[in-house]
Amino acid sequence: MTVPSPFFAKERFAMISKRVEKPDHQHFMKEAIKQAVTALEKGEVPVGAVVVWKNRIVARAHNQMEMLRDPTAHAEMIALTQASETLASLEEARPRNRDHRGSLEGATLYVTLEPCPMCAGALVVTKCTNLVFGARDPRAGSCHSLYHITEDDRLNHQVKVTGGVMADDAKFLLSEFFKGLRKEKR
Ligand SMILES: [Zn+2]
């Protein structure tokens, strides 16, 4: 499947990136979009995610449901697990995270599509501080569209949510994927 630029800039990063001095949502969302492009190239539903802590990327992941044959292998789940592992082992993160290993306090998840109920639940249990997502998902979105799991004050943790960042880019990739599927079916 071919994807037009500007998404094709292929760069390989170390797991933990350098601290970015003046970061903005777009900067990190572009990194999540690169992950979504990787998913698209592999025939996966193109959703990508990164976790940012102290202005550094501590996890990057894309959807791997097909490859792992695991319907729970959403980009967010993989990124949150990776980030928990990284922060649990990062010396700098330990003083604050000592009491709950792997807690994502102070972290932000950037994801190209609004999280589903499972991933919204994972954001709550990992105590992730912020969520920034791209496109809204009217079918399964649980952080704005169908439910407000991440902001429900009956739960023991609330996540600060920002939606609609680079939503058109995220939607474009999804539409390319589903266009490809429709062609295959013909
Ligand atoms: Zn999900």
Q: How far is CA 76 from the centre of its chain?
A: 4
pLDDT the model gives residue 107: 97
Output the CA 54–ligand 1 centroid distance in Å.
Answer: 24
Q: Over the stretch 79-136, which tens digit does the pLDDT of each residue have?
A: 999 999 999 888 777 666 555 556 899 999 999 999 999 999 999 999 999 999 999 9
pTM (predicted TM-score): 0.86
pLDDT the model gives residue 160: 97
Told to judge if 21 belongs to the known catalytic residues of this protein, a careful annotator would answer no
DSSP 85: H
- Residue 174's closest CA among 13, 37, 72? 37
Catalytic residue (one of 31, 44, 76, 114) = 76
Q: Mean of the pLDDT values across residues 152-161? A: 97
Top pLDDT among 23 and 123 is at 123
Output the CA 180–ligand 1 centroid distance in Å.
Answer: 22
Q: Is the pLDDT of residue 17 over 90?
A: no
pLDDT the model gives residue 127: 95
18 pLDDT band (50/70/90 cuts)? low
Output the CA 77–ligand 1 centroid distance in Å.
Answer: 7
Under DSSP, is residue 52 helix (H, G, I), strand (E, B) or coil? strand
Residue pair 34/7 in contact (Cβ under 8 Å)? The answer is yes
Measured between alpha carbons, how far is 94 from 24 in angstroms, rounded to an integer? 26
Residues with CB under 5 A from ligand 1 (ion): 74, 116, 118-119
pLDDT the model gives residue 183: 84
Q: Is the pLDDT of residue 50 over 70?
A: yes
Output the CA 21–ligand 1 centroid distance in Å.
Answer: 30
Q: Is the pLDDT of residue 10 over 70?
A: no
Output the CA 123–ligand 1 centroid distance in Å.
Answer: 10
Own/partner pairs for 135-139, CB < 8 Å, 24+ apart?
A: 135/164, 135/167, 135/170, 135/171, 135/174, 136/163, 136/164, 136/167, 137/113
Phi and psi dihedrals of 22, rounded to 5? -120, 75
Pairing of strands 160-162, 107-113: unpaired
Q: Is the pLDDT of residue 13 over 60?
A: no
Q: Is the pLDDT of residue 174 over 60?
A: yes
- Residue 170's closest CA among 1, 59, 34? 34
Under DSSP, is residue 6 helix (H, G, I), strand (E, B) or coil? coil
pLDDT the model gives residue 11: 36
